[in-house]
Structure 1
Amino acid sequence: MTPVQDKVTEAFEIVGAARPARWLITCDHATNRVPDWVSGGDLGLPAADMARHIAYDPGAAGVARALGDLLDAPVVLSRFSRLVMDPNRGEDDPTLLMRLYDGTVIPANRAADADERGRRLDRLYRPYHAAIDALAQRHPDTVIVAIHSFTPQLRARPPRPWHIGVLFDEADPALSHALIAQLQAEGDLVVGANQPYSGHLPGDSIDRHALQAGRANTLIEIRNDLIDGPAAQSLWAARLAPLLQTALTQAEGGRDA
């Protein structure tokens, strides 16, 4: 197998490809970037909307990078907005290319036809997932940790009380259950189990790279107002790293990460 190297493309960034840990950190919604070949680099939304959670997961990329450093693990980050195409959806999911999100119409996507959808799949979505595939194959027992963030409140919805959520599928909940217990034991966090969203969708990133391959996994959602700068992102990563290590040891019955 050809060694995977650090790389920046229009679809993804790989950081720390040579790091030895079993852990693999992913960040599906790392950026609000729109490639210039997609509607001239403008989806037709004002800057304020592109800065919202609808376009990316604010703060998640910083947490993912810092967590990779602390766990000595590679990190794969997307380099295109979720509004261009959502890498955390299966290829046949109707929300793969969003036309309306949290009350906002995405003008450049309203007329996107099958050819445009295929172009975005080929140039962005598929290369991103290929990068994750390549790194996941470095170890026979890779552990995937997906880092996301969520907005404190959707429009016309009640505030979300959780500081952090851990998402899992009942097909393989062991690491997530152990991590939830570790987070709850901290004593100062409101922890959501499959909150603010429920589990996973068929064909999403965890399903594709972890569940279908039999890899240990968890998906972490941090409320984005808690990670709104580099210092806060580093603090959360420093908090999560030892909890993840302990949770993995517990999930695997005492085996070291």
Structure 2
Amino acid sequence: MTEPPFEYIPEPPGSRAGLLFVCDHAANAMPEGYGTLGLRSELLATHIAYDIGAAAVTRDLAVRFASAAILGRWSRLLIDLNRGPDDPTLVMKLSDGSIIAGNRDAGPEEIACRLRAFHAPYHAAIAAEIGGLEARGLVPTVVSIHSFTPVWKGRKRKWDVAVLSDRDRRLADPLIARLAEAGLAVGDNEPYTGALEGDTLNRHGTCRGLPHVLIEIRQDRIGDTNHARRFAARLEPILRAALADMGPSERLSQTIHS
């Protein structure tokens, strides 16, 4: 039986947490038939292939919050799960100076094939989990976990953690305040912006009126399993406090549009 293109951690029986953790760039593996996309194996161990440490943080937080989690199983270089189907960066041919030879000739037919096989099932799983929570009378809060490289184009990044958001700031604002209160250097939509139409949180959060946030952690803080677990332990009370500050999880009466 072919394994699905995502890892699913179910919510424990009886939990009413109402949270869903997602991790788009959890892994650096490739499915059968794609080899290494023409890259040297050592490059697959770098940030161009996946978000280092993000999967370990996601799994740990799912346990701590007694919540479900959905993690991408394959490398972002195969297809970026945090992009809309029409995004030109969905299948990258160049990443941080490295040519992705296995993507060089990926035309519309190949991209459509990867969308069907890997991208669509991942997002269907997220939608199904949200639907299941809603069927139980809960309004889910979606928390996406990412990580960023500590050095970009020769410049060190000053943030310990970043909070990315779009137009719905219900959870982002209290989370930023709580992270700063805990002594962490926080980027508000830095080093990346959360306002990307068609990305995971736009699709499953903004467009559904659900509270959501993306937490991006500097990779040298979570570069191995022990550091990732320690950071998750530090993050747990901060996120709990921010969720309490946000108040009851509610669907916006009108879905946010432009």
- Corresponding residue for 1:37? 33
CA contact (8 A) 1:10 1:35 kept: no
CA contact (8 A) 2:83 2:90 kept: yes
Shift of 1:18: 4.2
- Corresponding residue for 1:9? 3
> Any residues of structure 2 matched to 1:174-185 within 5 Å, and which?
174-185=170-181
Distance of 1:111 and 1:99 partners within structure 2: 9
Distance of 2:249 and 2:24 partners within structure 1: 27
> Any residues of structure 2 matched to 1:123-202 within 5 Å, and which?
123-140=117-134, 141-154=139-152, 156-169=153-166, 171-187=167-183, 189-202=184-197
Distance of 1:64 and 1:200 partners within structure 2: 22
Distance of 2:94 and 2:165 partners within structure 1: 26
Moved over 6 A (4+): none
Shift of 1:9: 2.7
Distance of 2:233 and 2:249 partners within structure 1: 19
**TM, length-normalised to structure 1:** 0.91
Instruction: Give the fraction of aligned pairs with identical amino acids, expressed as a percent.
Output: 43
- Corresponding residue for 1:229? 224
Shift of 1:119: 1.0
SS at match of 2:70: strand
Alignment RMSD, CA only? 1.5
Alignment gaps of 5+ in structure 2: 251-258
**TM, length-normalised to structure 2:** 0.90
Which residue identity is paired with 1:142?
P
Is 1:23 equivalent to 2:19 in the alignment? Answer: yes
SS at match of 1:135: helix
Q: 1:148 to 1:160 in 2, by over 3 A?
A: same
Task: Please say which of residues 85-94 and 226-235 is displaced more in the overlay.
Answer: 226-235
> Any residues of structure 2 matched to 1:76-115 within 5 Å, and which?
76-115=70-109
- Corresponding residue for 1:240? 235
- Corresponding residue for 1:219? 214
Which residue identity is paired with 2:104?
R
Cα-to-partner distance string for 1:213-256 (whole Å, 9 max, x where unaligned): 0111010000111101221111111121221121112112xx48
Distance of 2:224 and 2:191 partners within structure 1: 22
Which residue identity is paired with 2:119?
Y
Distance of 1:240 and 1:214 partners within structure 2: 25
CA contact (8 A) 2:11 2:66 kept: no
Q: 1:98 to 1:256 in 2, by over 3 A?
A: closer
Alignment gaps of 5+ in structure 1: 1-7
- Corresponding residue for 2:253? none
SS at match of 2:46: coil
Which residue identity is paired with 1:177?
D
- Corresponding residue for 2:256? none
Distance of 2:198 and 2:121 partners within structure 1: 16
